[in-house]
Amino acid sequence: MRKIIHIDMDAFFASVEQRDNPELRGKPIAVGFDGPRGVVSTASYEARKFGVHSAMSIAKAKQMCKNLIIVPSRHETYKQVSQKVHAIFQRYTDIIEPLSIDEAFLDVTENKKGIVLAQDIAREIKQSIKDELQLTASAGVSYNKFLAKIASDYRKPDGLLTIHPDRALDFIDTLPVEDFWGVGPKTLQTMHKIGIFNGKQLRACSLTHLTEVFGKAGPVFYNFARGIDERPVENTRIRKSVGCEQTFLEDISKKSAIIIELYHTVLELLRRIDKSGFRGKTLTLKIKYDDFSNITRSITTNKILTQKSDILPLAKQLMNQANTSAKAIRLIGLSVSNAEDTQKAPQWVEGELEFEEWD
């Protein structure tokens, strides 16, 4: 039986800011750009009590929390702290799969210290993070990645939960389907329409029915409802895509302005492609409108997309498909995926690729 730990730093960016500035401790803060188009990157737990959360506009966050303090991001600092957290992980195992700057999976089935219980390892890691970095982390322990990740979210902040194989199905039975990995707003709406609200109801659905309704995700949900997840912890992650997005200071609607901003986004994408060395064949356009609705459009070619002469015409083609005359545009993003060496489809999150924002 595998022993998997999922570690998730608590309100990471905000906690680092409160640690480094004692005047911010105990106060509601949000990390992000304090401007008309600023977005909350991370909110402290004091701010979350007022309903402030990541990806919320700074303007709305200020309305919800009148005493909210906005703190500029210090990405280099967060990166350095993350490296120190990973150094603690490496005392126990080299099989580490980072999910982002503030969370990771660890396979401790065979660990460097010969500790029998994964729960004890998770407890030691949490204590080391607290003692050495003055930060807290939440940990989930189980026999697969799906359950370990859910467990780490269950008792935040500073939580530790172990889901034992003998109790996994009972735990899953009461788990709301929105807490299942891969269930976003659209999938959740569909599940509710067909009468699935928790893990027990999901497990009652046949594989055939779930596949008919959810396609390739159907077998994944079928297995998750049974506590099955065979994915290994991978200490090398293959880059699936490279992308960028830009939020405008003011919404744009004129065709000429859209084309100009699209051109600048293409140039930024080319810079990131050149820096990463990524070679992909699928171009994806993401648009966020002034009402915060999103659309994505993709096109796959036989060419490796590394040149402006190839990417710009495709980007314009996708923009024409998007019917931009209907609404003003708040954000434009572009991404290249479908890597030449793996030929795998990009990782989708409810129909959208994850992009990295740029100024």
Give the model confidence (pLDDT) of 179-233 as tens digits: 998 898 889 999 999 999 999 999 999 999 999 999 999 999 999 999 999 999 9
Question: pTM, whole model, 2 decimals?
Answer: 0.76
Residues 245 and 331 in one domain: yes
Same domain, 275 and 312: yes
Q: What is the CATH number of the domain that holds 64?
A: 3.40.1170.60
* Predicted confidence band of residue 235 (pLDDT cuts 50, 70, 90): confident
- Predicted confidence band of residue 241 (pLDDT cuts 50, 70, 90): confident
The confidence band for 341, taking pLDDT boundaries of 50, 70 and 90, is low
SS3 76: helix
Q: Assess if residue 235 is contained within a domain.
A: no
Q: Are residues 335 and 246 in the same domain?
A: yes
Q: 122 and 89 in one domain?
A: yes
pLDDT confidence tier of residue 163, bands split at 50, 70 and 90: very high
In a domain, 25, yes or no: yes
Whole-angstrom Cα distance, residue 167 to residue 325? 54
Dihedral Cα 81, 82, 87, 88, nearest 10 deg: 90
Lowest model confidence (mean pLDDT) among 88-97, 308-317, 342-351: 342-351
Nearest Cα to Cα of residue 246 among 328, 333, 308: 333
CATH of the domain at 267: 3.30.1490.100
| Element housing 192 (H / E) | helix 185-193
Q: What pLDDT score was predicted for residue 238?
A: 67
Task: Judge whether 212 lies within some domain.
Answer: yes
In angstroms, the Cα distances linking 121 to 89, 90, 310 are: 10, 12, 50
| pLDDT at residue 359 tops 80 | no
Question: Looking at residue 343, what is its pLDDT?
Answer: 38
**41 is in which domain, residue-wise?**
13-73
Tell me what the mean pLDDT of segment 75-90 comes to: 96
pLDDT tens digits, 252-308: 999 999 999 999 999 999 999 988 889 999 999 999 998 888 899 999 999 999 999
Q: Are residues 94 and 162 in the same domain?
A: yes
Has residue 348 been placed in a domain?
no
Residue 230 counted as domain residue: no
317 located within any domain: yes
pLDDT at residue number 249: 80
Q: Of 97, 103, 250, 356, which is the active-site residue?
A: 103
Average pLDDT, the chain: 91
- Tell me which of 69-73, 108-112, 197-201, 288-292 is least confident: 288-292
Q: Domain check: are 37 and 113 in the same one?
A: no
Residues 225-247: what's their mean pLDDT?
88
Q: Is residue 246 part of a domain?
A: yes
pLDDT of 349 over the 80 cut: no
Q: Which pLDDT value is given to residue 275? A: 84
Residue 236 lies in a domain: no
- Distance, in Å, from the CA atom of 350 to the CA atom of 182, rounded to the nearest integer, reads 8
CATH number for the domain spanning 118: value is 3.30.70.270
Of 167, 200, 232, the last residue of a domain is: 167
Same domain, 107 and 83: yes
Phi-psi region of 136 (alpha: psi -120 to 50; beta: other; left: phi over 0): beta
In the chain, the number of structural domains is 4
Lowest mean pLDDT among 136-145, 238-247, 252-261: 238-247
Our answer to whether residue 46 is catalytic in this structure is no
CATH number of the domain bearing residue 181: 1.10.150.20
Q: What is the pLDDT of residues 16-63, one digit of tens each?
A: 999 999 999 999 999 998 987 788 999 999 999 999 999 899 999 999
Omega of the bond leading into 157 within 30 degrees of 0 (cis): yes
DSSP string, 47-89: HHTTT--TTSBHHHHHHH-TT-EEE---HHHHHHHHHHHHHHH
Give yes or no: residues 86 and 127 share one domain: yes
Token readout for 244 is 């960028």
- Check pLDDT > 60 for residue 144: yes
Residue 359's SS3 state is coil
Are residues 254 and 184 both part of a single domain? no
The reply to whether 260 and 313 lie within a common domain is yes
pLDDT surpasses 70 at 358? no
Helix (H) or strand (E) holding 161: strand 160-162
Residues 105 and 156 in one domain: yes
Share of the chain above pLDDT 90, in %: 78
Both 56 and 38 in one domain: the answer is yes
